[in-house]
Amino acid sequence: MISIPFNPIMFEIGNFVLSWHGFWSFVGVLVAIYLVARWARKDGLNPDLVYNTAVWGVLGGILGARIVHVLDFLPYYLDNPGKIFAVWSGGIGLWGGIIGGVLGGAIYAYIQKYPVGKLMDLTAPAMLIAQAIGRLGDVWNGEHLSRPTDLPWGWIFTHPDSPGRRGAIELFQNPVQPVHPSVVYEIIWDLSVCWLIWRYRKSLKPDGSLWMLYMALYSVGRFLIQFTRMDSVKFWVLQEAHIISLIIFTISVIFLIIYTRPINWIKNKDLSQTPNKVSSKRKRRVLRNS
């Protein structure tokens, strides 16, 4: 059993409260922007394209993340409407952040005639790194209460202000009930998917395919890991994140099946067609000479 002793609050000044969740989420976003700008420069793109797009991506991400979180805990926020916009105190829906972020950034990039698909592909591995960093905030905060476990890596939250400890008391009547470290499972999955798509970052066409591969793979992991969490059930045995994962997975796989091709396959196909083109030209010359 692992003990998590952290205070979820980083610091508090008057009515302003900064949680560790908010801090690590902010760090993750900064790291992602830095990495995408760096990779864009290496690919011959102006980093300013990244910075300009990131502004709208971040705004869309914050809005989407908060909307999904509020919808997931709607009864609480209906009773406490003043806390709906208190993003700095923690509480975001990751799927909402991803969807809102890509929509905000893609719409702006399209209007500015930036290479939307290319920017999305550059962003995919950086997003996974940012997600892993942001999940560190969930470790500190004790959010996302998970199901009980007797596995040796089950953890408990010992700080009296930890949402994890309060949740264990409310649901299990036992503040030291070990639960699954679901956010750690997700960190491991994020970094594994990042490693995989990094290997294939220059192997898929058209632009945008790497982003879709990221969406498909992340959806699989998120869907499975979600069963270890105790979020509210929305449909049958499925939670909100389950439903979103299924939708995103379906859309991504359809795109990958219809549009995506390995670059080597495309090159080989072009090469296989070249002799036919050459031979047809020769036939025309022969006919003209005859």
pLDDT in tens, 172-226: 888 889 999 999 999 999 999 999 999 988 888 899 999 999 999 999 999 999 9
**What average pLDDT does the segment 43-67 reach?**
93
Predicted pLDDT of residue 287: 44
Predicted TM-score of the model (pTM):
0.84
Comparing 81-85, 184-188, 218-222, 263-267, which segment has the lowest mean pLDDT?
263-267
**Contact between residue 15 and residue 88 where contact means Cβ atoms under 8 Å apart:** no
**222, two tokens:** 């998120």
The C-alpha atoms of residue 99 and residue 241 are separated, in whole angstroms, by 12
In whole numbers, what is the pLDDT of the chain averaged over residues? 86
pLDDT at residue 63 is higher than 70: yes
Centre a 10 Å sphere on the Cβ of residue 135 and count the other Cβ atoms it contains.
Answer: 24
Predicted pLDDT of residue 290: 45
Instruction: Spell out the domain ranges in the chain.
Output: 2-259
Q: Torsion over CA of 260, 262, 263 and 269, rounded to 10 degrees?
A: -100
The C-alpha atoms of residue 198 and residue 192 are separated, in whole angstroms, by 10
pLDDT at residue 282 is higher than 70: no
